[in-house]
Structure formats: C-alpha cells, structure tokens
Structure 1
Amino acid sequence: ESGFLRKVRGGASIQPSGLFESDFRYRQKQAGEEKQRLAAAAVAMVEPGQTVIIDDGSTAGGIARHLADLRPLTVISNNLAVIQDLAGVGGITLIALGGQYSKKFHGFFGLLAEDTLRSLRADVAFLSSSAIHGVSAFHQDQEVVHTKRLMMAAAARKYLLVDHGKFGRTALHFLTDLKAFDAVFTGRELETQMREVLDAAGVSLTLVEKD
C-alpha cells in the first residue's frame, strides 16, 4: 500500500532503519495489541481537569480513545489521528498544533507547532519513540525530535510509551535519556536482561501485562 515501502538497493522494505521510519499507518498495525495495552495503562496517569499533550507517535496516540471517561480535559496534539478522534467530543478542549503536515508521520511540524508549544504548559505529556538504544531514546527525524523535546519541556510530568520491540534498535538522532521520563511504559515481554540494565540505570519502568 502507498507509503508502506522504503526503497533499498535491489528492492524495497517496510522495516524502519536508523535513517528511515515507517509510515504512520503501517506503524499503527505493528504490535497493535501491545500498544493498546500500554495506552490503557498509561491513561491512569491522567486526572479530570488536567491538560494533556499527546505526540505524533502511533503508540502515544492510542491514549486518545481512553480520555472520554476523564473529562473535562484539555488535550494538545500535533497528531492528526488524535485530533480527528477528539474533535467535537464534549468535555474535551482540543488544541491542535498547527504547522506543516507530514504524511509520513500523520502530524504537524515546523515553526508554527514549535512556537505554539513554547507558549503552552501542560500537566502531563505522552510520547513515543522509534528506537531505544541502551538507556536512551532515539528517532530518525530531527524535526520530530525537536518537537518532542518541546513537548517534554512544556509538561510537568512526562511518560514514554514504547512497545518492547523498540528496545535494542538504533536511530540517527538522540532524543533524551530514559531517566528524563517519570515512567517508561512497555510490555511485560521485554527481555529480562534489558529490564536489569534499565533498573540499574535508575529508569522508572512500568511493565504492562497481557490481558
């Protein structure tokens, strides 16, 4: 399908690499059950009346469908899927970050989004990352990294949602150390050795069981 293939020598690949991230629609379907688990668990960090930031990631974006029971809320996002899910929902004040639309990331980026984020403050931010190497988060796109960092700076509390398959991967641009997050949510499937590395580094890890 359109947007799912990445050209490589001798063919094409739908797999991400350190330089290229997969299309948003493809990523939504990968580790779908685990991503839903993470979103359902992480939403417990939200209380009615708060302001919530949700980034462009397909994992963090799953938070949106769980917010109705926590209204009233203010939600800030550059994620078009989140914006579409919450537009017109009673009790949700939606602040859609402007900017240039990226089909690949299904979100908005650039100066308009960045300037808006600098002028806002939130109680909590939910972010995703495409790669976890060691005890740090990475992403392939520098503009996405810049936007995520501004979201983190705007929020009092920050949570990272990453499926266990992202651990041990690498990407071009450093986002932040995992200790910058109040908690990192991932699936119980994460390898024991990796858990021990994260624990030793002081990373607050929340392992989410299968239903």
Structure 2
Amino acid sequence: MSATSDGSARRLPAGRKADLAAYVAEQGQVTVAILAERFDVSPDTIRRDLDALDADGVLIRTHGGAISPQAVPRPDTGVDVRLRIQTSAKDQIGALAAGLVRDGASLMINAGTTTLAVARHLAEHRDLTVATNSLRLPTEISPQAFRDLYVFGGVVRLSAQGTIGAVAFPTENGADRDIRCDLALIGVGAVSADAGYSTSNLGEAAMMSAMMDRSAKVAVLADSTKFGRRLFAQIAELGRADYLVTEAPPPADLAAALESAGVEVILPADVG
C-alpha cells in the first residue's frame, strides 16, 4: 500500500471500489473530480473504477461522473441515464398503461422515459393515431402499431429529447386545427396530495396540461419514487386524471386524496 496525502494508507483497488460504490449510493450523484479528490487517485483511475462498477450494475455511469440506481435523478438528467433508472417499475407501468389503449384509438403521449416504456408495449396494437412531443418515441414504437404519428413542433429540449411548444398543428392559413384524442398518456415528475401533478419545467407543464385538455380520458404515469414530491411547475390537480398508473401502492395520504378526487389507481395484479 502507498500513503495518501493525509498519511492514511491507500486502499487496494477492490477496497476502493467498494468504498466508491458506497459513497455514490450515499450521495446519489457525484462527479469524477469529487471522487478523485476524496479517494486521492487520478481522474483516469476513477473513470476506470466507474466503468467497471457500471458494467457490474452497481451504479450508472454518466458524462463526468456517476449516479446511484436508487437515486431520484435531477430534472436535467439526460434520457439515456433516466432510461436505466427504475427500469422494472417503468416496464410494469408501460404494460399496464398499454392495457388502457384500444385498437384504433387516438393518443396524446408526452416525452419521457416512462411513456417510452408504454410505446414499446404497444407493439400488438393496430391503427393507432399518436400525437407526441417526444423525439425518441417514433423510433421506439412499432411501425405496425400506428396508422398516423405526429410530432408537435417547438423548441427542442435536449435533456428530455422532446419539443416544447403548442399542442396544435397549424392549417394552411396559419390557424390552429382543432385536435381531440381518446386518451392522454402523461408521465409526470411528481405526485402529491396537495400539489397534484408537477414537473420541473414550466413549458413542459403547460404542454402536458394542454394534452390533458385535448383528451377524453387521462392516464398519469408515475413510479413510486415520484410520490409525495412537488416540483417547480404544477401540471394539474389530482382530479384532472382518470387513472394513475404505477407499480406500487401510494402512501395512505396520497391514496386517500386520489380516491377523493375520483382517480382510479392501476397497479400490477400481484400488488393490487
């Protein structure tokens, strides 16, 4: 062993990796620079350790650092990282939400990793009309599932891989064409008894709310890490949704508020 700058013995790589994994789990999200300073090794050494731990599934490697799989990601965490967090929960939610969709239906689907899970579970559906602000969804949904797929225009938000703009399609003379859908599938960032559904971005919140307004039924999708939280921008009150699709029962106060608001909670059969 060699000595660190404070005189203590530097751990062997296996020991360092274990401590590093524990530190990332404790902090939730860290940078290479912070880890290099804490463990008194070079940034290149930390990068190799993080790559190895990512390969083992212990943590998720990000650009410039790592994130714990159990951590609630920051609002600006990219889609590729968020796709690897709560994967089992999102897959369960995706399958349940797809069960609400009938063949031939028209759908509003917002950008997000949970809604991408829904898209993958629509492979056996047919003749759907889909309107979305997701730039990723057209590559995830089966071409056999939809008759028409439309992407709303607007400003591109790279972290979400989606657009932010009007929930509308202009006609030739510039006026917005009225559009209505059977079902809105809306993935949200937070669900709470007092604040309803919320997200981190004001433009996204406005767009999700407009999607709800243009749909006959609304299904909000949220895994259990979103419960009891409030983010910057409110999307809607609890009662604006007809369904909350999730993988685990909400806590008692939220469950009572959802029941009072007339929201049906849809859960996997083994936890329902």
Of 142, 147, 160, which aligns to 1:105? Answer: 160
Residue 25 of structure 1: SS of its match in structure 2?
Answer: helix
Kindly indicate whether residue 32 of structure 2 is the aligned counterpart of residue 2 of structure 1.
no
What is the match of residue 34 of structure 2? none
Could you tell me which of 161, 164, 168 is aligned with 1:115? 168
Matches within 5 A, 1:179-194: 179-194=239-254
User: Which amino acid is 1:90 matched to?
Assistant: Q
1:174 maps to which residue?
234
Equivalent residue, structure 2, for 1:9: none
Structure 1: any 5+ residue segments left out of the alignment?
7-12
Aligned CA distance change for structure 1 residues 14 and 176 (closer, same or farther; 3 Å):
closer
Q: How many residues are matched?
A: 199
Equivalences for residues 14-163 of structure 1 within 5 A: 15-16=73-74, 20-86=75-141, 89-90=143-144, 92=146, 93-110=148-165, 113-116=166-169, 119-135=178-194, 136-163=196-223
* Residues 100-121 of structure 1: per-residue CA shift (max 9 Å, x gap): 22111110112xx433286321
Deviation at 1:177, TM superposition (A): 1.1
After TM superposition, where is structure 1 displaced by more than 3 Å over at least 4 residues in a row?
A: 2-6, 189-194
**RCO (CA 8 Å, sep 6+): is it higher in 1 or 2?**
1
- The aligned amino acid for 1:128 is G
TM-score by length of 2: 0.65
- Quick one: which amino acid aligns to residue 26 of structure 1? V
Using the alignment, how far apart are the partners of 1:131 and 1:66 within structure 2?
A: 23
Q: Pick the structure with more strand per residue.
A: 1
Question: How far off is 1:124 after superposition?
Answer: 0.8
Cα separation, 1, equivalents of 2:180 and 2:144: 22
Distance in 2 of aligned mates of 1:46 and 1:4: 39
For 2:145 and 2:73, the matched residues in 1 are separated by 39
Q: How many Å apart are 1:36 and its aligned residue?
A: 0.7
* 98-107 or 78-87, larger mean C-alpha shift: 78-87
State the shift of 1:50 in Å: 1.1
Name the CA distance, whole Å, in 2 between partners of 1:192 and 1:129. 20
| Change in CA separation of 1:4 and 1:98 when aligned onto 2, cut-off 3 Å | farther
- Alpha-carbon distance between aligned partners in 2 of 1:145 and 1:155, rounded to the nearest angstrom: 16
Q: Is the 8 Å Cα contact of residues 193 and 238 (structure 2) preserved in structure 1?
A: no
After TM superposition, give the deviation of residue 173 of structure 1 in Å.
Answer: 1.1
CA shift in 2, pair 1:105/1:3, >3 Å: farther
Identity of aligned residues (%): 25
